[in-house]
Amino acid sequence: MFDSYLIEVGNEIAGVVVRSGQGFRFHAVGASFRELEEQRFASPWKAERAAAKLQRTLRAADRR
Protein backbone atom coordinates (compact mmCIF):
# COMPACT_ATOMS: atom_id res chain seq x y z
CA MET A 1 0.00 0.00 0.00
CA PHE A 2 1.21 3.50 -0.80
CA ASP A 3 1.70 6.32 1.70
CA SER A 4 0.03 9.05 -0.38
CA TYR A 5 -2.76 9.26 -2.93
CA LEU A 6 -4.00 11.96 -5.25
CA ILE A 7 -7.73 12.55 -4.77
CA GLU A 8 -9.65 13.48 -7.91
CA VAL A 9 -13.35 14.26 -8.18
CA GLY A 10 -14.60 14.30 -11.74
CA ASN A 11 -11.94 16.18 -13.68
CA GLU A 12 -10.79 18.20 -10.67
CA ILE A 13 -7.90 17.51 -8.31
CA ALA A 14 -9.29 17.88 -4.82
CA GLY A 15 -6.17 17.16 -2.83
CA VAL A 16 -3.72 14.60 -1.57
CA VAL A 17 -4.05 12.20 1.34
CA VAL A 18 -0.92 11.20 3.21
CA ARG A 19 -0.63 8.30 5.62
CA SER A 20 -0.72 9.52 9.20
CA GLY A 21 -0.74 6.88 11.92
CA GLN A 22 -3.60 4.46 11.29
CA GLY A 23 -5.32 6.69 8.71
CA PHE A 24 -4.78 9.34 6.06
CA ARG A 25 -4.72 13.12 6.41
CA PHE A 26 -6.26 15.25 3.64
CA HIS A 27 -4.36 18.20 2.15
CA ALA A 28 -6.50 20.32 -0.17
CA VAL A 29 -5.19 21.44 -3.54
CA GLY A 30 -8.23 23.37 -4.73
CA ALA A 31 -9.81 26.17 -2.72
CA SER A 32 -13.23 24.53 -2.92
CA PHE A 33 -11.90 21.56 -0.92
CA ARG A 34 -10.33 23.56 1.93
CA GLU A 35 -13.14 22.42 4.22
CA LEU A 36 -11.51 18.97 4.23
CA GLU A 37 -8.02 20.33 5.02
CA GLU A 38 -6.26 18.31 7.74
CA GLN A 39 -9.21 15.94 8.24
CA ARG A 40 -8.32 12.32 8.89
CA PHE A 41 -9.85 9.45 6.95
CA ALA A 42 -9.63 5.70 7.43
CA SER A 43 -8.76 5.19 3.77
CA PRO A 44 -8.08 7.17 0.59
CA TRP A 45 -11.41 5.95 -0.79
CA LYS A 46 -13.30 7.46 2.15
CA ALA A 47 -11.51 10.75 1.53
CA GLU A 48 -12.50 10.58 -2.13
CA ARG A 49 -16.15 10.01 -1.17
CA ALA A 50 -16.04 12.97 1.23
CA ALA A 51 -14.56 15.20 -1.49
CA ALA A 52 -17.24 14.09 -3.97
CA LYS A 53 -19.97 14.79 -1.43
CA LEU A 54 -18.53 18.24 -0.71
CA GLN A 55 -18.37 19.02 -4.43
CA ARG A 56 -22.03 17.99 -4.90
CA THR A 57 -23.04 20.17 -1.94
CA LEU A 58 -21.15 23.19 -3.27
CA ARG A 59 -22.61 22.78 -6.78
CA ALA A 60 -26.14 22.51 -5.38
CA ALA A 61 -25.58 25.70 -3.36
CA ASP A 62 -24.34 27.51 -6.50
CA ARG A 63 -27.54 26.62 -8.34
CA ARG A 64 -29.74 28.34 -5.77
Report the distance separating Cα 20 and Cα 8, nearest Å: 20
Query: Model pTM?
Result: 0.90
For 23, phi and psi rounded to 5 degrees?
Answer: -135, -155
Report the distance separating Cα 16 and Cα 59, nearest Å: 21
Arithmetic mean of pLDDT over the chain? 94
Overall average pLDDT of the 26-52 stretch: 96
Q: Which residue has the higher pLDDT, 58 or 16?
A: 16
Overall average pLDDT of the 32-61 stretch: 95
Q: What is the pLDDT of residues 24-35, one digit of tens each?
A: 999 999 899 999
Q: Where are the domains of the chain?
A: 4-63
Overall average pLDDT of the 15-26 stretch: 97
The whole-number pLDDT of residue 43 equals 97
Whole-Å CA distances, 17 to 3, 7, 50: 8, 7, 12
